[in-house]
């Protein structure tokens, strides 16, 4: 690292492993913690433990946290004793777009998702068997590498003339059109905070039936309808949505996206977070003042001692498993940095 930055913006707890090195260099960090990655069904045991360890390191070494949902912030406060600044994702409100050929305005059901278990894909596919006898069903997404869900989507499209599987769409204009004209959009995501696809669907005015989670309720408010993750509940919810589709007013849906999930608001939130830490410099040297801004938690008085104790205990378990401690590694790195006369730490070259 030739020049030391005033502040580092770090995305996802997977990068929590770099935070001790950044702290050692006197660089304050603003970390977007993203979703609860260690609970995603798509990850194996080793990956889940790596994400969890990254979260523990983030809780211990990040200067400030950013959460894209209030529910995520509450999870971090409860489990790790850390508060977080709320900055969500944004969406773009498109102009009126032409409808996909062969479809009618408000005349079809849409699902957009990566094909992973936590997105309620299997349950939606089972529901589609019945739904396709009454409504056109459009499926956008894939696993990205083939597999059982991709095979099921292909089989559904082959067996039912009312089912279209479009795979992954990289054409935003086409995807926005599908959301804009859908009679009902099913959103089955269950793990994470503010989902970018859900925000964009709102910005397009899509009438949404979502899996009932605290995250989806936070984003949709009273503009959405919520169902349990069973094929039967999905069928009932989407049938009801299609029955009212022709008369639904989407003004409130788009207005909520514009008010709470605009990119202008998102950029302002990140800018303020970064500038707050750029401003915390030693007035005599113009460099970051470690004692002021590199504390493990700038909101210590708001933390839960129980959560912090639990996190520390979990960290000790990881350290015992790996046979080393973060502090001992930092001590070695600190000696290297002193010998190099504040030359870039090896980890900074990533």
Residue 230: which CATH number?
3.40.50.2000
**Contact of 141 with 168, CB cutoff 8 Å:** yes
pLDDT in the model for residue 312: 56
Residue 236 lies in a domain: yes
pLDDT in the model for residue 42: 83
| Residue in the block written with tokens 């062969």 | 102
Residue 167 lies in a domain: yes
More confident residue, 311 or 51: 51
Same domain, 116 and 248: yes
Helix (H, G, I), strand (E, B) or coil at 81: coil
Least reliable range by pLDDT among 68-82, 117-131, 174-188, 275-289? 275-289
Q: Which domain holds residue 168?
A: 109-261
Q: Is the pLDDT of residue 336 over 80?
A: no
Residue 2 lies in a domain: no
Same domain, 213 and 290: no
Going by C-alpha positions, the residue among 184, 175, 173 that lies closest to residue 124 is 184
More confident residue, 307 or 12: 12
Average pLDDT, the chain: 85
Same domain, 61 and 201: no
Phi/psi for 192 (5° steps) reads 130, -175
pLDDT class of 1 with cuts at 50, 70, 90: low
pLDDT in the model for residue 80: 95
| Nearest-angstrom CA–CA distance, 209 and 225 | 5
Helix (H, G, I), strand (E, B) or coil at 138: strand
Last residue of a domain, one of 237, 261, 285: 261
pLDDT tens string 219-230: 999 999 999 999
Residue 64 lies in a domain: yes
Instruction: Tokens for 288, please give them.
Output: 């970051």
Last residue of a domain, one of 261, 293, 312: 261
| Nearest-angstrom CA–CA distance, 263 and 284 | 37
Which residues contact residue 250 at a Cβ distance below 8 angstroms, ignoring those fewer than 6 apart? 205, 206, 207
For residue 301, the Cα-to-chain-centroid distance in whole angstroms is 28
pLDDT in the model for residue 303: 40
pLDDT in the model for residue 318: 56
Sheet holding 137-140, edge to edge: 163-167, 137-140, 109-112, 184-187, 208-211, 225-227
Helix (H, G, I), strand (E, B) or coil at 60: helix
| Nearest-angstrom CA–CA distance, 306 and 292 | 25
Residue 204 lies in a domain: yes
Residue 270 lies in a domain: yes
Same domain, 238 and 308: no
Same domain, 66 and 48: yes
pLDDT tens string 102-158: 999 999 999 999 999 999 999 999 999 999 999 999 999 999 989 999 999 999 999
Whole-prediction pTM: 0.79
């Amino acid at each position: 690292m030739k020049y030391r930055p005033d502040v580092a913006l770090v995305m996802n707890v997977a990068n929590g492993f770099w935070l001790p090195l950044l702290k050692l260099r006197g660089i304050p960090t603003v970390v977007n913690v993203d979703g609860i990655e260690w609970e995603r069904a798509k990850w194996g045991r080793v990956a889940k433990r790596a994400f969890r360890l990254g979260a523990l390191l983030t809780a211990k070494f990040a200067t400030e946290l950013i959460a894209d949902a209030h529910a995520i912030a509450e999870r971090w406060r409860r489990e790790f004793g850390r508060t977080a600044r709320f900055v969500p994702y944004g969406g773009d409100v498109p102009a009126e777009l032409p409808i996909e050929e062969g479809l009618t305005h408000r005349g079809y059901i849409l699902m957009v998702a990566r094909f992973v278990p936590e997105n309620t894909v299997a349950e939606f596919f089972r529901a589609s068997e019945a739904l396709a006898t009454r409504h056109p069903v459009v499926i956008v997404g894939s696993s990205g590498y083939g597999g059982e869900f991709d095979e099921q989507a292909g089989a559904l499209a082959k067996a039912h003339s009312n089912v279209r599987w479009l795979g992954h769409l990289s054409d935003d204009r086409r995807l926005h059109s599908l959301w804009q004209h859908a009679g009902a959009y099913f959103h089955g995501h269950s793990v994470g905070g503010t989902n970018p696809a859900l925000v964009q669907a709102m910005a397009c005015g899509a009438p949404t039936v979502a899996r009932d989670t605290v995250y989806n309720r936070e984003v949709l408010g009273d503009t959405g309808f919520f169902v349990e993750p069973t094929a039967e509940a999905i069928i009932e919810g989407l049938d009801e949505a299609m029955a009212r589709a022709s008369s639904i007013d989407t003004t409130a849906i788009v207005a909520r996206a514009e008010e709470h999930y605009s990119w202008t608001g998102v950029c302002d939130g990140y800018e303020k977070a970064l500038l707050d830490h750029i401003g915390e410099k030693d007035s005599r040297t113009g460099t970051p003042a470690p004692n002021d801004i590199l504390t493990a938690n700038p909101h210590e008085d708001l933390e839960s001692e129980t959560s912090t104790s639990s996190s520390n205990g979990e960290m000790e378990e990881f350290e015992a498993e790996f046979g080393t401690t973060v502090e001992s590694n930092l001590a070695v790195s600190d000696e290297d940095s002193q010998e190099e006369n504040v030359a870039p730490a090896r980890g900074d070259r990533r």
